[in-house]
A = this chain, B = another copy of it.
Amino acid sequence: MPDQGVGSFERGSRLLEKMLGPGEARRVRTAWRKLSPDFERYVLTFLSGEIWSRPGLDRRTRSLCTIATLAALGRSNGLALNIRMALRNGATRAEIVETLLHIAPYAGFPAAWDALVLAGRIFAERRRGGAARRRLRGGR
């Protein structure tokens, strides 16, 4: 494991940008940094640069497992971020909803409900965002 530290920070930054898009990655990093610069650093170095950079599972599967976990635990900020990331990691909206239906009997229907409400809000936001971008480009 030579120079893992520096390497994992760079790797984590690039991967986060890839999984969220540059604008959203910048926004969430600024938010983390404002809460605590070390929180931002750990998320980039360890979560993104180590855990998510591991080869053993593809990113779409990692996204769905993370969504299942955070829906079960009821963590809203992390769940919202991971629903956004899942869509760029190759999971479809239908697969995200399917994952939440799947865990309903395991974590309880109310946990799935709370998460479906959050997912619905994010999907709607992106529909509006997509429509706005299409209008800007002159298409409808």
The A interface, classified by DSSP as helix, strand, loop or mixed, is helix
In the complex, the count of this chain's copies comes to 6
**What chain B residues lie within 8 Å of A61 (beta carbons)?**
61, 64
A45 to chain B: closest residue by CB:
B4
Bound-state Cα–Cα, A88 to B133, Å: 45
Q: Is the CB of B38 within 8 A of A109?
A: no
**What chain B residues lie within 8 Å of A112 (beta carbons)?**
39
Q: Is the CB of B107 within 8 A of A34?
A: no
**What chain B residues lie within 8 Å of A78 (beta carbons)?**
106, 108-110, 113-114
Query: Does A15 make an interface contact (CB < 8 A)?
Result: no
Query: Does A35 make an interface contact (CB < 8 A)?
Result: yes
Ordered by A's residue number, 22 sampled pairs between the chains whose C-beta atoms are within 8 Å are A4-B4, A4-B6, A5-B6, A32-B113, A36-B97, A36-B116, A39-B116, A43-B109, A47-B105, A56-B98, A57-B64, A57-B98, A62-B102, A64-B64, A68-B68, A69-B103, A73-B73, A75-B113, A77-B117, A78-B108, A78-B110, A106-B109
